[in-house]
Every structure is written in structure tokens, then in C-alpha cells.
């Protein structure tokens, strides 16, 4: 058994993931090696790591899109088995349904859950306001900017009241302005609507601004290098970036990341992950 | 600057239209000259004037020039009916089968190889067999149209379903959809652009196979008109018949797009 802290809503326990190597079943490429982490209820945790360290694979396993080779993921002490609406995912790419309007995209999960028309209408309306898209409900995704699309993507999962929110570098494809405004939006939303969030990023600033706890990941094979607690007071705004504490923490993390990169050997072919 | 540009733009459009009209105008001229009294006889190629009158008469019947005065509507209706039935059969079988093969591996394994094998028989190759099975006439024609239309609809639907983005399916799963709702709410609309292009190709082919079927001897329909006119030596009616088929083909494509646009899916999907 790996570490299991009390009050953890989302637990990743000894997760390994290997793929068959280029020479078939004889060899394995291990992408994740014994990853352990836990996110407390109502906490926002970040996974920070260089690109190629397996962060997205880890998130896909937690979301249930891929199965771990060994180990398991628990949500509310229940072992997950495939994707489900208890874990909402905001993807890095645009994953809105282009044939549905903003209102229909946000209502998609509620319709699947069999809610009444009236309830769907009211909730969708409330969440459109929450992400600041009043007046856009009848627009289609291709008529929106990248930032607005991610707002819809956020509202689309929040409206289902998931146990946990998984965000896979959701703002990485946005320009600096849109990214900053999305970060503030997420802080605001998280203030009014406490959520358990696991947020993946390779951006040190983003990790520090948003999270209570940062798991620094290293590559080759992907594992948790360090577990950093972030104690800036809440509610936060982007102004904390100007404080000396922030700069000191940032320096520490940048150094950690360098170590993660150096320590991370290039992906090599090694025997399968220990069971 | 802007005005200059717009003037230039206008000139440009007139210019391209002029160039595009050059060949038809030349053709008309050559046609007119070659059908002068000293030129080709009427039974080989009617003059533009004769053809225009025959066309008018074929549609509206006021000139009583031939047995086909005002006959367009009856024959067009018969032909359209055959195309509609054949095309409908092709779509009703082709779309579900294609979507299923494109999204479910085992169904693809089950049907795809056989369908691809049958597909390599050219549509005309089915004519003798169809005549034995269905006799000469209506059923054979409908069979040929359905046969010809089925393949492009199947192939495009399967392709469309196969290429629906994985991230849409993942998004739908994590929003609580099950396999069946993924099919109806993600694969169906996601594959729609491809399905529509399959339908359009099939509709175009339908008209080609309509003529083939009607040439084998049915009492009505535009293909039959062309064939009868050949027997009666009425070249003008043959040409008018060809023109009518082209016209109906165009109109039916417009109608198809209109009907698809009426469905709940997005306008850009077409």
C-alpha cells in the first residue's frame, strides 16, 4: 500500500504504465513508474513537470480513458473503472462538440443524466453566467475565441457537479492575456464553488498561482520527484505574482524542475514495472 | 484606393464571365453554321432554333410539334419516382451499415471485405442478372439505382464514422454518455459531413443508372423517351431528353442539400 492520507478524495496508488516497445511484446516502455499522489477534498493540486514526463498519460488513467498496467486510482474510496461523470475533464485541445451550441454543449451532461428540461435550462443559464459568457448561449464553438471555448469546456463539466475536476494543461494553447484571464476566472470560480481539482501544467507561475500543493514530476520513467505545499493565503488574485514570497517559491520550483529534467533520463526500454 | 479597387473588381468579374461564355458562344456559332440548309440535315443535328422550339414544346406542349408535346412532366415524374425509390433504399441500407462498420470493429470485420469485393463489379455488370431476376422495366431500374448508390453511401459513412475525433468520444464518456448515446449524439453528427458527400455522389450516380435501366425498355421515363426518339429518328427529342435529365440531376442535388439543411445538424456540416 502506498501512502494514503486522511481526507483524500482522489488517490493514485502505485500506478505504473508501460506500453509494448517497438520490438513487440518482449520489451516494454515504462512511462509511469509507481506514481503515488493524493488530492484532498476541496483542494487544488498541480502536477508540474517537463513535457514528455507522462503527465497526460497519468491524467488519462485517472480520467479512466486508459488503464494502468498496475496500481489503481480511487475516487471517494471507490476504485475507478473507466470514464465517468464523477470526474470532469477539461482537455488541452478544443474538445467541444462543434455541431452543438454553447447552451447545448453545457447541457450535454445534464441531458445524459436525465434531468428535467426546466432544471437543465436554469443550470445551464447559471453556469454560462459563472464563466462570463452571457449572451453567447446560442453561439457555436467555431464562432468563439480559444479562451471562450475553454470557458465553455469548464462550464460543461462544472455543471454536472463532479467529485473531481481534471484539467490537462487547459490554458497552454491560449495567448498570455487569455491565459491570465482564465487563471483569474478559475480562482474566482473555485472560490464560489469549492471543487477538488487536479491541474496539469508545465508552467511554474500557473502552478504557484493556482495550487495548494504541487507534485513535481520527472521523466524517464515518469514519477513524482517532490511534493511541495503552497501556503499563499486565499482568496488569491494574480497580484501574488509580485510578492517576494512568490519569487522565492518560483526559484525553488525552477531549480526542482531543472533537477527533474536532468534526473529524468531519456525514455529507455526497461523491464516491465514491478507489480 | 478603395473605389479604384472596386472598379477593378467589377471589370474583373465581367472579364471572367466573358471568358467563360466564349466557348459556349463559339459552339453555338459553329452549330448554327453547320445546320444551315446547305449543311447537316435535320435528322443528324437540328438547328438551334428547331431545338429551342422542340424544348419549349416538350415542356409546355403549346406547339404540337411531335408526339412528345408537353410530355416532359409525365416522364420526369416517372423517372424521379424511380430515382427516389432506388436512392432511398441505398441510403436506408448504406448509412446505418456504413456507420456501424465505421464505429464497431467486429461489424467492419464481418461485412467490409464482402462489400468491397462486390463493389469491384461495375454497376452495368449487374444489368443482365437484374433483367433475369426482375424482368425488364421498373424493378430492374430501381435495383440498379439502389445498387449503384449503396456503395458510395456505405464507403463514405464508414469513413466518416471511423474518423470521428477520439477526443469527442472521450468528452462524451466523461460527461456520462453510454455507448449507444455516443453513437447517436457523437458519431452520427460527427460523421455527417462525410455521409452527406456520399449521398451526393450516390444521387449523381442514380441518374446515370436510371438511364441505363430505362433504356432496357419501359413505357415511360426520360430514358425511355430518348430510346424511343432514336427509333423514331427524332434527334431533337434525344437532345432535349438529355438536357432534361441533366436538369433533374441538378435540381435533385439542390433538393437533397435543402432537405439536409432542414435537419437539426449544423449548416457548416454540408
Q: Which residues of B41-78 are buried (b: 16+ CB within 10 A; e: fewer)?
A: eeeebbbeeebeebbebbbeeeeebbebbebbeebbeb
Same domain, B19 and B115: no
Same domain, B80 and B174: yes
Mean pLDDT computed over B77-102 = 96
pLDDT for res A269 = 45
Mean pLDDT computed over B10-31 = 80
Contact A64 B174 (CB under 8 A): yes
pLDDT for res B249 = 93
Q: Would residue B158 count as lying in a domain?
A: yes
* Residue B268, pLDDT above cutoff 80: no
pLDDT in tens, A11-55: 999 999 988 777 666 667 888 988 999 999 989 999 998 887 888
Q: Would residue B152 count as lying in a domain?
A: yes
Same domain, B211 and B124: yes
Tell me the C-alpha to C-alpha distance, in Å, between residue B49 and each of A51, B55, B124, B160, B173: 75, 10, 36, 49, 66
Pairing of strands A223-229, A213-218: antiparallel
Same domain, B23 and B154: no
pLDDT in tens, A88-110: 999 999 999 999 999 999 999 99
Q: Would residue B42 count as lying in a domain?
A: no
Give the domain range for residue B165. Answer: 72-269
Q: Which residues of A146-166 are buried (b: 16+ CB within 10 A; e: fewer)?
A: ebbbbbbbbbbbbbbebbbbb
* Residue A265, pLDDT above cutoff 60: no
Contact B175 A85 (CB under 8 A): yes
* Residue A125, pLDDT above cutoff 60: yes
Give the residue on A whose Cα is nearest the Cα of B166.
A95
ipTM of this model?
A: 0.89
Q: Would residue B185 count as lying in a domain?
A: yes
pLDDT for res A114 = 92
Q: Pseudo-torsion of CA B11, B14, B16, B21, nearest 10°?
A: -160
- Provide the percentage of residues in chain A whose pLDDT is more than 90: 61
* Residue A162, pLDDT above cutoff 60: yes
Q: Would residue B64 count as lying in a domain?
A: no
Q: Would residue B65 count as lying in a domain?
A: no
Residue B105 β-bridge partners: none
Pairing of strands A87-90, A164-168: parallel
Q: Would residue B50 count as lying in a domain?
A: no
Mean pLDDT computed over A196-217 = 92
* Residue A254, pLDDT above cutoff 60: yes
* Residue B110, pLDDT above cutoff 70: yes
Domain at B255, CATH number: 1.10.3720.10
Smallest Cβ–Cβ distance between A95 and the set B171, B185, B269 belongs to B171
Domains within chain A, CATH numbers bracketed:
1-86+163-275 (3.40.50.300), 94-161 (no CATH)
Distance CA B142, CA B215 (A): 13
Residue B226 φ/ψ, nearest 5 degrees: -60, -45
Give the residue on A whose Cα is nearest the Cα of B181.
A112
pLDDT for res A275 = 41
Same domain, B146 and B256: yes
- Provide the percentage of residues in chain A whose pLDDT is more than 70: 90
Distance CA A18, CA A16 (A): 7
* Residue B266, pLDDT above cutoff 70: no
Pairing of strands A196-201, A44-48: parallel
Query: Pick from B249, B205, B201, B244: which is nearest to B221 by CA?
Result: B244
Smallest CA–CA distance, residue B266 to chain A, in Å, is 5
Same domain, B19 and B88: no
Same domain, B233 and B122: yes
Same domain, B100 and B21: no
Q: What does pLDDT average to over chain A? A: 87
Same domain, B90 and B220: yes
Number of domains in chain B: 2
Amino acid at each position: 500500500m502506498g501512502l494514503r492520507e486522511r481526507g483524500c478524495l482522489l488517490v493514485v496508488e502505485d500506478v505504473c504504465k508501460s506500453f509494448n516497445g517497438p520490438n513487440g511484446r518482449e520489451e516494454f516502455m515504462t512511462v509511469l513508474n509507481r506514481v503515488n499522489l493524493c488530492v484532498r477534498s476541496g483542494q487544488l493540486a498541480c502536477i508540474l513537470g517537463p513535457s514528455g514526463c507522462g503527465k497526460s498519460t497519468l491524467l488519462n488513467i485517472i480520467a479512466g480513458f486508459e488503464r494502468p498496467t498496475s496500481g489503481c486510482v480511487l475516487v471517494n474510496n471507490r476504485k475507478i473503472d473507466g470514464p465517468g461523470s464523477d470526474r470532469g475533464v477539461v482537455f488541452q485541445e478544443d474538445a467541444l462538440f462543434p455541431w452543438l451550441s454553447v447552451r447545448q454543449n453545457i447541457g450535454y451532461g445534464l441531458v445524459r443524466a436525465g434531468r428535467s428540461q426546466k432544471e437543465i435550462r436554469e443550470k445551464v443559464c447559471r453556469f454560462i453566467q459563472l464563466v462570463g459568457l452571457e449572451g453567447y448561449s446560442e453561439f457555436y464553438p467555431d464562432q468563439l475565441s480559444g479562451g471562450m471555448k475553454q470557458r465553455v469546456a469548464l462550464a460543461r463539466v462544472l455543471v454536472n457537479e463532479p467529485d473531481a475536476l481534471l484539467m490537462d494543461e487547459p490554458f497552454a494553447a491560449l495567448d498570455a492575456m487569455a491565459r491570465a484571464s482564465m487563471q483569474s476566472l478559475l480562482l474566482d470560480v473555485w472560490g464560489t464553488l469549492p471543487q477538488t481539482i487536479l491541474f496539469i501544467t508545465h508552467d511554474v507561475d500557473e502552478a504557484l498561482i493556482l495550487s495548494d500543493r504541487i507534485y513535481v514530476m520527472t521523466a524517464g520513467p515518469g514519477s513524482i520527484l517532490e511534493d511541495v505545499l503552497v501556503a499563499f493565503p486565499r482568496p488569491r488574485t494574480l497580484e501574488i505574482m509580485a510578492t517576494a514570497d512568490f519569487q522565492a517559491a518560483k526559484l525553488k520550483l525552477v531549480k526542482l524542475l531543472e533537477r527533474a529534467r536532468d534526473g529524468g533520463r531519456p525514455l529507455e526500454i526497461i523491464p516491465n514495472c514491478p507489480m | 484606393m478603395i473605389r479604384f479597387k472596386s472598379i477593378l473588381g467589377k471589370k474583373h468579374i465581367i472579364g471572367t464571365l466573358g471568358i467563360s461564355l466564349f466557348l459556349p458562344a463559339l459552339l453555338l456559332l459553329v452549330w448554327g453554321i453547320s445546320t444551315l440548309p446547305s449543311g447537316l440535315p435535320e435528322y443528324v443535328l437540328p438547328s438551334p432554333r428547331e431545338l429551342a422550339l422542340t424544348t419549349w414544346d416538350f415542356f409546355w406542349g403549346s406547339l404540337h410539334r411531335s408526339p412528345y408535346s408537353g410530355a416532359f412532366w409525365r416522364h420526369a415524374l416517372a423517372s424521379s419516382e424511380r430515382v427516389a425509390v432506388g436512392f432511398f433504399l441505398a441510403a436506408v441500407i448504406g448509412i446505418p451499415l456504413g456507420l456501424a462498420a465505421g464505429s464497431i470493429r467486429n461489424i467492419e470485420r464481418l461485412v467490409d471485405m464482402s462489400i468491397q469485393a462486390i463493389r469491384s463489379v461495375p454497376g452495368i455488370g449487374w444489368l443482365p442478372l437484374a433483367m433475369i431476376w426482375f424482368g425488364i422495366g421498373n424493378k430492374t431500374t430501381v435495383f440498379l439505382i439502389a445498387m449503384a448508390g449503396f456503395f458510395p453511401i456505405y464507403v463514405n459513412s464508414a469513413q466518416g464514422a471511423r474518423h470521428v475525433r477520439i477526443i469527442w468520444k472521450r468528452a462524451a464518456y466523461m460527461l456520462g454518455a453510454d455507448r449507444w448515446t455516443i453513437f447517436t449524439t457523437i458519431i452520427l453528427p460527427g460523421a455527417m459531413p462525410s455521409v452527406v458527400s456520399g449521398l451526393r455522389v450516390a444521387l449523381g450516380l442514380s441518374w446515370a443508372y436510371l438511364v441505363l435501366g430505362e433504356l432496357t425498355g419501359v413505357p415511360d421515363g426520360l430514358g425511355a423517351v430518348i430510346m424511343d426518339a432514336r427509333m423514331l429518328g427524332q434527334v431533337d427529342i434525344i437532345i432535349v431528353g438529355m438536357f432534361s435529365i441533366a436538369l433533374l440531376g441538378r435540381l435533385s442535388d439542390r433538393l437533397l442539400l435543402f432537405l439536409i439543411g432542414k435537419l437539426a445538424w449544423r449548416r457548416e456540416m454540408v
